[in-house]
Structure 1
Amino acid sequence: MDQLTGLDASFLYLETPQQLMHVCALVVVDPSTMPGGYSFESLRAGVESRVAGVPEFTRKLRMSPLRLDHPVWVQDRHFDIERHVHRLGLPQPGGYAELVELAGHLAGQKLDRGHPLWEMWVIEGYDDKVVIFSKMHHATVDGVSGASLVSHLCSLEPDSEPLASGGAVDRTREPGEWELLGRGLVKTLARPWEMVRLVTPSTQLVTRTIGRAREGTAMAAPFSAPRTSFNGTITGRRSIAFADLDLAEVKEVKDATGTTVNDVVLTLAGGALRGYLADRDELPMSSLLATVPVSVRDSSKREAGANKVSALFARLGTDIADPAERLQELAHANRNAKDHQKAIAADALQDWAEFAAPRTFGLAVRAYAGLRLAEKHPVVHNLVISNVPGPPVPVYFMGAEMVALYPLGPIFHGAGLNITVMSNAGRVHVGILACRDLMPGVDDLVRRFPEELTTLRELVSPRGPADGR
């Protein structure tokens, strides 16, 4: 038995039929490298053998009686790979449009909480490639831990062992109802004392933040974002788009300007959003505000939990026309934001998340959505942008070379757009997931990323695109 942390469990409580809290990925593989050739049956059997000893793939939820405490993970003693790995044929003509349409439909389907919280859809008929569309609940993974789980299914050569291997399956006794009830009552009684322990450091944090704001070194503040068409109450329908960038070109801009890869990525996103909104006569006078998840895995003192993240708020410079100027402004603001974020205890979000009461939290989320409150208060943030490091060398998924991996993060009421990028063997894969009813034109947004990179290189690189690369 392994109890969910408050932060992990919060992603369960946040979930509604419209606000789905799973993390998706669109993985394009080349089946011609598979030893013995490709077949769906052999691929599924290979997945089954590799996940057998990995708890994240074989455990399911057990709720606390009366919802007094966070759920626990227990081993699914009836684990069946056929419930998790499925096969689909892509409608003809089997191109990009058909793939993103199908992926958007799959992304809008809720995971079954009666079983381990993941699914894979093996999609055949995408040219000569095979596409793996995966879904895993955010209660199980964050960006870093998700990348780690992928290593159980990938190797450095088509016929070599996976990068990570599973251990022994937990066969310990499952807790009884009275045991879970007792644990829940004890934790409920202890919560007021735990909250008192956190009040003083939190008060000190607020004081320091006010000081940073007066000095002009604080990160951007939430609830200060302009309203756009994708900042409202989301529906359950999803749209997906993806594109590729050359990592060498991104690093060329980084080196020429003394910035970071993340600065460049945020600048490209800002430029793409500026053009997208301007073409629709929706560009706000002030800059869009993004929430940027930050891993605290290296600095966290907590051993338990899949999600070990904090977040910073970053303005994307959508009010700045010149891309080079936008990059410098973002780089300066990001340095302040990172210093500010590092001043916050790594486990602060996890500590406070422990007080998320299962029943109350869920009711509050449903009321928030039902009353459409996201449309009535100031906008917290416009979107979420994540930058996840991936493998620097080619890897093989069940023996098939991984051609691309497009990560797709969840969206929230009030922020119906998520942009996630991942580096992979010299490429930068951009994945966009949005609420289809709030933002139908995601293809128009994603195609601007390569255009923005070309423009930025022309402005800041000594060589620029004319060098023929």
Structure 2
Amino acid sequence: MQQLTGLDASFVYLETPNTPMHIGSLAIYDPSTSPNGRLRFKEVLAFVESRLDGAWAFRRRLVRVPFDLDHPYWIEDPDFDLEYHVRHIALPEPGDWRQLCILAARLHARPLDLNKPLWEFTIIEGLDNIDGLPKGSIAILSKVHHAAIDGMSGVEMTTAIHDLTPDVPERKFDVSWKADTKPSDAELLIRAQVNAVRQPLKVADIIARSIPGMAKASTGLLSRDLNLPTTGSAPKTLFNRTVSSHRVVDGVRFDLDEVKAIKNAVEGATVNDVILSVVGGALRKYLTHHEDLPKKDLIAFAPISVRTEEEKSALGNQVSGMLVNLGTSVEEPVERLRLVHDKSKGAKALTNAIGARNLAQFSEVSPGGLMGLGARLYSRAGLANAHDPAFNCVVTNVPGPPVPLYFAGAQLIEQYGTGPIFDGMGLIHPVYSYNGTICVSFTADRDTVNDPERYADCLREAFEELKAAALPKPKRKSSSKKTASRKKAAAG
């Protein structure tokens, strides 16, 4: 039995009927590479069952302390049922990209059952009318609660169910699984009392470890070696209001080599800076169309992994984050990239000075029951509509392998991300890189973004404009010699 950290538990407390707190992906596969040239559902079940030992989250479920007096615990589920977690469905007509996105959004909008292991895979067939995909392609929509994994620990689950070759090799995992007995309420309450006695010591330890970083940051700010990345709150937009229970999902794919070439237009810029500037350009276009573009730059929250090499396979979240400027007030694409890079560099310096891990550990002192009560009251009262947001959206990067992956022998073609939204922040951009491509996806509130295909087009247009402005134009061959020879031939 293992207790959740304060950060992991916060995703449980903050969940409401309109704001389920799971993350996931929409992965598309070509089954023609599998040993039989196609995948049957029985084969998928058998394959996933053979890989359950590869990740801790597969068979662990939550046990909550009565009245949320302490953080919940993970136990190995004694009633685990694989067929509950792996489902099978066909894409309705006409089976095109729009229909796939609609189905993915509907599935993603449904909360996970908190009384079972917190993940689901839905196998989706019928992707025969989508441009660029091989006939017979399938998709897998995955959902995993944020209490169980972050973007980096999610790589463990991805690794467990994927291989580097299509021949489905047998793999053994160094894990011995044994079901737990569910603890009684009395046992959980005794544990809560013991933890309550230890809490002041934990708070003192966290504050003591934070003081050097805070002092370093204060010194840097006073000497102007560091600058605050933003001033005050972010501007209010149509994304920053109370959200409904409905979702939209979409995404676009870019060539990673082109992204790397674009970053060279600004000295020191990174791939992340390019993606942030593309998101900024898309938001500028979209909000201009809806007559909602503020004069002040929009701000994104960018999660930062603080996971060490030793914690690579650990359950839960090891993340902090920083606020980055998206340059939505800047029309010229390269100038926007330059601004994003400069602001991001300053935000990273400040975060490094304080210590990203120190920031993450402050969640350990948050009272769980009060967090949940506050989230519910905040949602019911519609308070997100009454104040400016701390940030406008989330942009989270999940690095993937540069080589092809295979699920039960089927090659992964492309992968798009899905993520949680909540009151006051109705737009998240999961960014997945894989095998020479980078996919920028988004999940949003359907009542706010009822035209997701327009926002997807805005992402494409913003990328193409930045590429055209950043990359050198190919030199056209001079036609003067040809013209002279033609004139000479005509004269002769």
TM-score, normalised on structure 2? Answer: 0.89
Q: 1:46 to 1:299 in 2, by over 3 A?
A: closer
Which residue number corresponds to residue 487 of structure 2?
none
Q: Per-residue displacement from partner, 1:319-378 (whole Å, max 9, x unpaired)?
A: 001110111111111111111111223432442212232322111110111111112122
One-letter code aligned to 1:167: V
Q: 1:102 to 1:465 in 2, by over 3 A?
A: farther
Stretch moving more, 21-30 or 369-378: 369-378
Kept after mapping to 2: 8 A contact 1:64/1:71: yes
Which residue number corresponds to residue 95 of structure 2?
94
Alpha-carbon distance in structure 2 between the residues aligned to 1:86 and 1:269: 33
Q: Per-residue displacement from partner, 1:163-204 (whole Å, max 9, x unpaired)?
A: 884621144665444432222101112223332333455566
Alpha-carbon distance in structure 1 between the residues aligned to 2:475 and 2:170: 38
Aligned residue among 178, 193, 204 for 1:196: 204
Aligned residue among 341, 355, 366 for 2:365: 355
Which residue number corresponds to residue 15 of structure 1?
15
Which residue number corresponds to residue 146 of structure 1?
154
One-letter code aligned to 1:35: P
Kept after mapping to 2: 8 A contact 1:63/1:71: yes
Structure 1 residue 301, shift from structure 2 partner: 8.5
Q: 1:392 to 1:102 in 2, by over 3 A?
A: same
Kept after mapping to 1: 8 A contact 2:56/2:315: no
Kept after mapping to 1: 8 A contact 2:229/2:344: no
Which residue number corresponds to residue 250 of structure 1?
259
Kept after mapping to 2: 8 A contact 1:27/1:132: yes
Q: Secondary structure at the match of 1:105?
A: helix
One-letter code aligned to 2:442: I
Q: Per-residue displacement from partner, 1:124-178 (whole Å, max 9, x unpaired)?
A: 1011210101100000110111122111000011114378846211446654444
Map residues 135-284 of structure 1 onto 2, 5 A cutoff. 135-161=143-169, 165=173, 167-171=175-179, 175-200=183-208, 202=210, 208-209=216-217, 212-213=220-221, 215=224, 217-221=226-230, 223-258=232-267, 259-284=269-294
Aligned residue among 331, 334, 338 for 2:344: 334
Kept after mapping to 2: 8 A contact 1:223/1:379: no
Stretch moving more, 250-259 or 220-229: 220-229
Q: Secondary structure at the match of 1:151?
A: helix
Q: 1:280 to 1:396 in 2, by over 3 A?
A: same
Q: 1:96 to 1:216 in 2, by over 3 A?
A: farther
One-letter code aligned to 2:229: A
One-letter code aligned to 2:115: G
Q: 1:53 to 1:257 in 2, by over 3 A?
A: closer
Which residue number corresponds to residue 461 of structure 1?
471
Q: Per-residue displacement from partner, 1:202-259 (whole Å, max 9, x unpaired)?
A: 5665565555555273342475211101100111110111111010100111234331
Q: 1:11 to 1:178 in 2, by over 3 A?
A: same
Structure 2: state its 5+ residue gaps. Answer: 129-134, 478-492
Alpha-carbon distance in structure 2 between the residues aligned to 1:418 and 1:411: 7
Percent identical pairs in the alignment equals 38
Alpha-carbon distance in structure 2 between the residues aligned to 1:175 and 1:316: 48
Alpha-carbon distance in structure 2 between the residues aligned to 1:187 and 1:302: 26
Q: 1:324 to 1:302 in 2, by over 3 A?
A: closer
Structure 1 residue 392, shift from structure 2 partner: 0.4
Q: 1:55 to 1:268 in 2, by over 3 A?
A: same
Alpha-carbon distance in structure 1 between the residues aligned to 2:393 and 2:363: 22
Which residue number corresponds to residue 408 of structure 1?
418
Kept after mapping to 1: 8 A contact 2:300/2:323: yes
Kept after mapping to 2: 8 A contact 1:299/1:346: no
One-letter code aligned to 1:399: G
Alpha-carbon distance in structure 2 between the residues aligned to 1:302 and 1:190: 28
Structure 1 residue 2, shift from structure 2 partner: 1.4
Stretch moving more, 451-460 or 309-318: 451-460
Q: 1:465 to 1:205 in 2, by over 3 A?
A: farther
Which residue number corresponds to residue 387 of structure 1?
397
Alpha-carbon distance in structure 2 between the residues aligned to 1:66 and 1:163: 42
Which residue number corresponds to residue 423 of structure 1?
433
Kept after mapping to 1: 8 A contact 2:28/2:414: yes
Q: 1:401 to 1:464 in 2, by over 3 A?
A: farther
Which residue number corresponds to residue 60 of structure 2?
59
Q: Per-residue displacement from partner, 1:83-116 (whole Å, max 9, x unpaired)?
A: 0111111111100111111111111101001110
Structure 1 residue 299, shift from structure 2 partner: 8.1
Alpha-carbon distance in structure 1 between the residues aligned to 2:126 and 2:476: 37
Q: Secondary structure at the match of 2:104?
A: helix
Stretch moving more, 248-257 or 397-406: 248-257
Kept after mapping to 2: 8 A contact 1:219/1:314: no
Tell me if 1:3 matches 2:12: no
Stretch moving more, 443-452 or 278-287: 443-452
Which residue number corresponds to residue 117 of structure 1?
118
Q: Secondary structure at the match of 2:365?
A: coil
One-letter code aligned to 2:82: I
Bigger Rg over Cα: 2
Structure 1 residue 66, shift from structure 2 partner: 4.0
Q: Secondary structure at the match of 2:152?
A: helix
TM-score, normalised on structure 1? Answer: 0.93
Alpha-carbon distance in structure 2 between the residues aligned to 1:410 and 1:164: 33
Structure 1 residue 382, shift from structure 2 partner: 0.3
Alpha-carbon distance in structure 1 between the residues aligned to 2:258 and 2:144: 32
Alpha-carbon distance in structure 1 between the residues aligned to 2:444 and 2:233: 21
Alpha-carbon distance in structure 2 between the residues aligned to 1:31 and 1:208: 54
- Structure 1 stretches of at least 4 aligned residues deviating more than 4 Å after TM superposition: 171-176, 200-214, 299-305, 463-467
RMSD, aligned CA: 2.4
Tell me if 1:364 matches 2:374: yes
Kept after mapping to 2: 8 A contact 1:317/1:329: yes
Which residue number corresponds to residue 329 of structure 2?
319
Kept after mapping to 2: 8 A contact 1:219/1:312: no
